[in-house]
Amino acid sequence: MADNPTTHLCVQILQTFFGGPCYEIGRVLLSRGRLPLPLIARLTRLKPRTVRACLIVLIQHNVVWFAESDGEDGEGPRGDTFYEVNVEEVCMRLRFGKFVEIAADVFGDEAKDIVRCILDHGKLRLPAVLDLLEVNAPKSTISHRSTFHALVTSRYLMPTSRLLHTSPKDKIIAWEEIEKRKLKEIPSAKVLRSIRDGVEDRLRTEREGQTTGLKRKPITTGGKGRKKPRRDDEDEEVVDEDVWFRVNYERFNVHLRDTLLATGAAERYNPSFGAVMSALLEAAMSVPNTHPRLSDVRSSPVSTPTLATFLQGGSSFGSNATSRAPLLSAGLKLPSSSTAPTSALKQYLLALSASDNPTPAGQAGAFTSRFAGGGGGEGKVQVEFETIAERMRRRLVEGYVRERWGDGAGRVLGVLWGGTMMDERQIAKISLMQASVVRAALTALQSANFLSLQQVPKTPQREPARSFFLWYCDPQNCYTSLLSTLYGTIANLIERLEREEEVATREVARPWNVARAERSAEREGIKSERERKRDRVWGAVGRADRGVLVLRDLVGGTGWGTGTGLAI
């Protein structure tokens, strides 16, 4: 079951994409949890035939999971089938436009059409994609097949299977119970976390090992003059036309994460550092036999000469490859030697790794780190995704707290952030604030679930009058509360946009307004106020969704272990 802001957002998205009946089914499943088909039909007051058709559509679009109850040993009679909404899959539909843009930038217009077609239909096979795109010419067919093959091998498209349509929570709970039964003593929090990580790794491995979606290319030989096939032809793989493919959201989210990191480096230092960071991420992505994920703690190591090559040649993925090397020398007076650009690049990397501040606080603010064992004796560089993600989440929470409750509440949260437990007098003393101001800030933060209170009794009777009360901050609770707030903000923006669209449509439909609007559009040739307002609202939705990406999808966020984080 989801909370109220999440439910509000999901039903708004379902109504926009699928219409009324699917909206009713999603509302019931989100508010009541997983249910069988007869109970869904009873609660929604829809015909069972309509409910069945809607569930098929939602499963086709990866929005609904199903779970079948079997016997205890897995061989008993088949029981009821329960259905459950995949919340993260629904919310991911807000980024479909960005996914299409990324596909166009990386692979071109053909990839854009393929990704858009699969997003519109949930999952498709290669022949169905070609038919829907109306690709009939032989050259165009070969080109689209090659682009589809590139998307599959780069894991922008992934094959789907029955496991991806079932909720991972059931297996995670069952496997955790099996591991806990093997323990002979009460497990600690560290042991429980290691068990959870091992179970998630096992489930991810099981899902990845289903199929690659590729098969060996069949070798055709002629008659009498047939030749022995070459080894390259024997090892060549093509897309299996019997396999259904869906879009791998995580692979596209990696590009959004890299854009955030490059923008963060540019905002903290200057655009030159953003160019170096962008080139470093592209170079790490191009390392052979590596597939970047959101769960990566750090990137693949990249040597300085390789990074210099990416800076000189621009992006290796986009079609608009322009050199970013001039940004490194902007405002700098370098010698005329050939090693001057490389020397400047090393200085940029030293600044990004916070080499001038080796303390824990300094390393917590670093973007990169040195990887020993690189070529040329210089070592390699790698991006610290986990450190950056934790820093971005903390800045997001502190910025929200300061904006809503003032600088005093932000100072109190900063004092308690590291897990320190203090009473009210200690907080007032360290934060240099009055006790009344601290008390008001603590009350406001506790009501928003950003702070918690721990009772430490002086006597075994645990009387409140004879107890200490210590305040502490759990970062995960802060992330969850802020994520719910962002969901509610996005839902309100989408609802506002729909209401204004309805009002504007009724106004434009009047005869005198139709003639006036046509004359105004022809005379001025600019966007109407309605379109400009819609762009501003969607811009606000995009900014809120970036906060969701930081809190939920980046490594260590609140989304891991709930579905999307377990995707390939």
Rounded to 5°, the CA angle 431-432-435 comes to 90
- Axis-axis angle for helices 249-268, 96-107 (nearest 10): 80
What's the one-letter identity of residue 540?
Answer: A
What mean pLDDT comes out for the span 500-529? 63
Q: Which two tokens stand for residue 314?
A: 């621009």
Residue 59 and residue 130 share a domain: no
368-371 and 467-472 beta bridge pairing: unpaired
For residues 19 and 9, give the distance between their C-alpha atoms in angstroms, rounded to a whole number. 15
Looking at the 3D structure of the chain, how many domains does it have? 5
Is residue 20, in this structure, part of any structural domain at all? Answer: yes
Domain that holds residue 431: 389-473
As a whole number, the mean pLDDT across the chain is 84
Rounded to 5°, the CA angle 140-144-150 comes to 150
Q: What are phi and psi for residue 435, nearest 5 degrees?
A: -65, -35
What mean pLDDT comes out for the span 553-562? 72
Q: What are phi and psi for residue 426, nearest 5 degrees?
A: -65, -40
Q: Which two tokens stand for residue 528?
A: 């109407």
Half-sphere exposure of 478 (CA within 13 A, CB side): 26
Q: Name the percent of the chain lying above pLDDT 70.
A: 83
Contacts 24+ apart (CB under 8 A), 17-21: 17/61, 17/93, 18/54, 18/57, 18/58, 18/61, 21/46, 21/50, 21/51, 21/54
Q: Which two tokens stand for residue 405?
A: 């409750």
What mean pLDDT comes out for the span 442-461? 89
Q: Which two tokens stand for residue 320?
A: 């608009």
Higher pLDDT, 545 or 230: 545
For residues 198 and 176, give the distance between their C-alpha atoms in angstroms, rounded to a whole number. 9
Is residue 442's pLDDT more than 50? yes
Residue 500 and residue 561 share a domain: yes
Is residue 225, in this structure, part of any structural domain at all? Answer: no
Least confident of 22-26, 27-31, 360-364: 360-364
Question: Which of 60, 85, 110 represents a domain boundary (last residue)?
Answer: 85
Confidence of residue 518 (pLDDT cuts 50, 70, 90): low
Stated pTM of the model: 0.86
Closest CA to 25 of 2, 3, 74, 58: 58
Residue 305 and residue 257 share a domain: yes
Q: Are 383 and 261 in contact (CB under 8 A)?
A: yes
Residue 292 and residue 260 share a domain: yes
For 120-160, where are the E strands, in sequence order?
A: 157-159
Half-sphere exposure of 347 (CA within 13 A, CB side): 11
Secondary structure (3-state) at 456: strand
What mean pLDDT comes out for the span 144-165? 90
Question: Which of 383, 407, 428 represents a domain boundary (last residue)?
Answer: 383
Residues 114-124 have pLDDT tens digits of: 999 999 999 99
C-alpha dihedral sign at 341, 347, 348, 353: positive
Residue 329 and residue 426 share a domain: no
Is residue 561's pLDDT more than 80? no
Q: Which two tokens stand for residue 157?
A: 């498209």
Residue with the two structure tokens 């001057």: 340
Contacts 24+ apart (CB under 8 A), 47-54: 50/21, 51/21, 51/25, 54/18, 54/21, 54/22, 54/25
Question: Which of 447, 473, 499 represents a domain boundary (last residue)?
Answer: 473
Is residue 125, in this structure, part of any structural domain at all? Answer: yes
Q: Would you give the distance in Å from CA 350 to the centre of its chain?
A: 29
What is the per-residue pLDDT for 209? 67
Q: Are 207 and 163 in contact (CB under 8 A)?
A: yes
Is residue 424, in this structure, part of any structural domain at all? Answer: yes
Confidence of residue 565 (pLDDT cuts 50, 70, 90): very low
Is residue 226, in this structure, part of any structural domain at all? Answer: no
Residue with the two structure tokens 């952030």: 417
Is residue 292, in this structure, part of any structural domain at all? Answer: yes
What mean pLDDT comes out for the span 36-48? 94
Q: Name the percent of the chain lying above pLDDT 90.
A: 50
For residues 401 and 411, give the distance between their C-alpha atoms in angstroms, rounded to a whole number. 9
Q: What is the DSSP string of 259-289?
A: HHHHHHHHHHS-HHHHHHHHHHHHHHHTSTT
Residue with the two structure tokens 């923006």: 493
Least confident of 87-101, 106-120, 355-369, 439-453: 355-369
Residue 237 and residue 98 share a domain: yes
Q: Are 70 and 78 in contact (CB under 8 A)?
A: yes
Residue 210 and residue 119 share a domain: yes
Provide the CATH number for the domain around residue 24. Answer: 1.10.10.10
Q: Are 116 and 99 in contact (CB under 8 A)?
A: no
Residue 172 and residue 68 share a domain: no
Q: Are 318 and 106 in contact (CB under 8 A)?
A: yes
Is residue 224, in this structure, part of any structural domain at all? Answer: no
Residue 467 and residue 403 share a domain: yes
- DSSP H or E stretch at residue 455: strand 452-457
For residues 420 and 406, give the distance between their C-alpha atoms in angstroms, rounded to a whole number. 22
Most confident of 339-343, 452-456, 530-534, 547-551: 547-551
Confidence of residue 109 (pLDDT cuts 50, 70, 90): very high
For residues 552 and 484, give the distance between their C-alpha atoms in angstroms, rounded to a whole number. 11
Is residue 325's pLDDT more than 90? no
Residue 412 and residue 366 share a domain: no
Is residue 463, in this structure, part of any structural domain at all? Answer: yes
Q: Are 142 and 127 in contact (CB under 8 A)?
A: no
What is the per-residue pLDDT for 355? 86
Higher pLDDT, 2 or 348: 348
Q: Are 66 and 83 in contact (CB under 8 A)?
A: yes
For residues 451 and 37, give the distance between their C-alpha atoms in angstroms, rounded to a whole number. 41
What is the per-residue pLDDT for 121? 94
Q: What is the dihedral of CA 84, 88, 92, 94, to 10 degrees?
A: 90
Residues 203-223 have pLDDT tens digits of: 888 777 666 778 777 765 555
Residue with the two structure tokens 């020397």: 343
Is residue 254's pLDDT more than 70? yes
For residues 558 and 561, give the distance between their C-alpha atoms in angstroms, rounded to a whole number. 8
For residues 7 and 168, give the distance between their C-alpha atoms in angstroms, rounded to a whole number. 20
CA distances from 142 to 11, 165, 206, 212 (A): 41, 31, 33, 21
- Axis-axis angle for helices 4-18, 48-60 (nearest 10): 90
Least confident of 49-63, 117-131, 517-531: 517-531
Residue 163 and residue 104 share a domain: yes
Residue 166 and residue 211 share a domain: yes
Residues 277-323 have pLDDT tens digits of: 999 999 998 888 788 889 889 999 998 888 888 887 654 444 444 55
Secondary structure (3-state) at 378: coil
What is the per-residue pLDDT for 309? 85
